[in-house]
Amino acid sequence: MAEKYDFKVLVAEKISPEGVEKLKEMFDTDAYDKMSREDLLAGIGKYDALVVRSGTKADAEVIEKGKKLKIIGRAGIGVDNIDLDTATKKGVMVANVPESNIISAAEHTMAMLMATARKIPAACASLRKGEWNRSAYQGVELYGKTLGIIGIGRIGALVAERASGFGMKLIGFDPFISPQKAKHLGVEMLSTVDDVLKQADFITLHVPRTKDTFHMLGAPQFDIVKKGIRIINVSRGGVIDEEALARAIEDGKVAGAAIDVFENEPPEGSPLCKMEQVFVTPHLGASTTEAQYKAGVAIADQVIAGLTGGFVSGAVNISMPHKEVVETLKPYMPLCEKLGTLFANLMQGSVSEIDLEVLGEISEYDTSLLTVAFLKGFFENISMDTVTYVNAPILAHERGIKVKESKSRQSRDYVNLLMVTAKDDTTGITAGATLVGTGQEMFVNVLDFDIDIAPSKYMALVSFQDRPGMIGKVGTVIGKNGINIAGLQVGRRPIEGEAGMGLNLDSPLTPEVIEELTSESGINKAMFIVL
């Protein structure tokens, strides 16, 4: 019999019975299938831990009333229903279980792959109506076909392993996976999504929904796909333009699709739900007995660890024991996250190595936390997983990215400086960050240009030939498109005759403006960045 601790735990939503029993073995536990907000607010003050799923909002009001709260556990992946800022401010740890459903999601992908290859749902519906129309439901084999995997994180990697068992040829696109990892999975990595679309017989998506992935498969992409392609999406709604996919199916370019997630859920009005070539499910990727069991048991383990002083592997916010280190590094942590986000935008190819160098006075401390902060910012918009200070290094390891850290008491030009070089197989990109004055954040030496520029929500980087009139060209294009430039810094490489410009913008650059910029004579490259 396990030792019972003097803590009270509230399970506000239904989780697996096994998870509840684990908690009851250790703590005084009250468990409900569903709890009203009124009851939650009235009772939360007497509990040390709260367990929720997606239906209960653990917002600022709940956390403020939870005077004894030490940990909030989310039995699932997301934490959108938990106020992380308030929890962190109040010293309440928040944990989730991001790995609980990855096998279920991968297997659902395979089920959808088989369904669209063999038209199983339509054939079943026909037979239920008393029909016997075998010729109408002739399918295709998976063996020897080419599967294009867009996004090869944890779920994409599991799909690759399973698809290889069917004898499928695997190709893929993911700019943030190392060639070594791809080779291990047997996936031939291609340079662009378009390259994958032109060769694949089936496409499966495993990407988060971000500004870069929203409608990543739309009319231009369906125009170039291999005729007869079939599309599977068990990742996030909105990464496919549903209207464009419907048109591509009607035109005969796309043979069929299997869709589990939609831009709007429930998908009222989506044309895909009415098409006989499309097989749809109501967001069932994680809906298995095993996934729900794992989520319940795993979150119980997280709460037990959090209340008994163990290691909370799914911690989403951060708790650091050494106050001196925390106080010293705290100003640099959000800066490192922004630097990581900058690199996620800058890197166009696969990343095999990240070198982070800490220079100056802070190098005397344990600065591994700054590396983790950088990785969190780097992966936050490219991974389907919830990225935390705990799992960011794991994501780098799983993608085959080697992370190096170095420190030196000697800095250059600044009291403290963080310099990062990210490398692929052929090239490397360098940029740094520092704090100046009274804590003003600053990116420095961006792309090896002598550019020092403060981070902002919207930024642009432009490289151009170092000759008169080029700054004016950039300003003219941006200005005539109604975009205000809030700040601008220019640096150059005199020997190579190339210059770079960093811009702070008040509003986003559209793809059309970027195309207009790069079409100007002398402008080599332009990229838009959202921090």
Residue 51 to residues 290, 366, 495: CA-CA distances in angstroms?
A: 19, 33, 60
Cα distances from 180 to residues 50, 163, 379, 402, in angstroms, run: 42, 19, 19, 11
Helix (H, G, I), strand (E, B) or coil at 421: strand
Amino acid identity, position 29: T
Q: What type of residue sits at position 419?
A: M
The DSSP output letter for 247 is: H
What residue type is assigned to position 89 of the chain? K
Q: Which amino acid is at 367?
A: T
Smallest CA-to-CA distance from 378 within 434, 422, 409 is with 422
Q: Does pLDDT of 357 surpass 50?
A: yes
> How much of the chain exceeds pLDDT 70, in percent?
95
Residues near 127 by beta carbon (within 8 Å), at least 6 away in sequence: none
Q: Which domains does the chain have, with CATH numbers?
A: 8-100+289-308 (3.40.50.720), 102-280 (3.40.50.720), 321-426 (3.30.1330.90), 445-531 (3.30.70.260)
Query: How big is the chain by its Cα radius of gyration, in Å?
Result: 26
- The answer to whether the CB of 432 falls within 8 A of the CB of 413 is no
404 burial type by CB count under 10 A (0-12 exposed, 13-18 middle, 19+ buried): exposed
Q: Is the pLDDT of residue 457 over 60?
A: yes
Token pair belonging to 471: 């700054």
Nearest-angstrom CA–CA distance, 114 and 107: 11
Residue 147 has pLDDT above 50, yes or no: yes
Given a contact cutoff of 8 angstroms between Cβ atoms, the answer to whether 252 and 233 are in contact is no
What's the whole-number average pLDDT of the chain?
89
Write out the DSSP string of 341-382: HHHHHH--S---EEEEEEEEGGGGS--HHHHHHHHHHHHTTT
* The pLDDT of residue 386: 64
Q: What per-residue confidence (pLDDT) applies to 36?
A: 94
Is residue 319 pLDDT above 60, yes or no? no
- Spatial contact of 436 and 216, defined as CB atoms under 8 Å apart: no
Q: 431 to each of 3, 357, 359, 408, how far by Cα in Å? A: 52, 11, 14, 17
Residues 385-398: tens digit of each pLDDT: 667 676 788 788 88
Question: From CA 339, how far away is CA 374, in angstroms rounded?
Answer: 6
Per-residue burial over 188-218, b if 16 or more Cβ lie within 10 Å, else e, is: ebbeebeebbebbbbbbbbbbbbeebebbbb
Q: Give residue 451's pLDDT.
A: 85
Which residues are catalytically annotated? 236, 265, 283
d(CA 481, CA 503): 15
Question: Is this model's pTM higher than 0.85 or not?
Answer: no
CA-CA distance, 247 to 98, in Å (whole number)?
35
Of 150 and 287, the one with more pLDDT = 150
CB distance 336 to 405 below 8 Å:
no
Mean pLDDT of 187-193: 94
Residue 68 in this model has a pLDDT that exceeds 90: yes
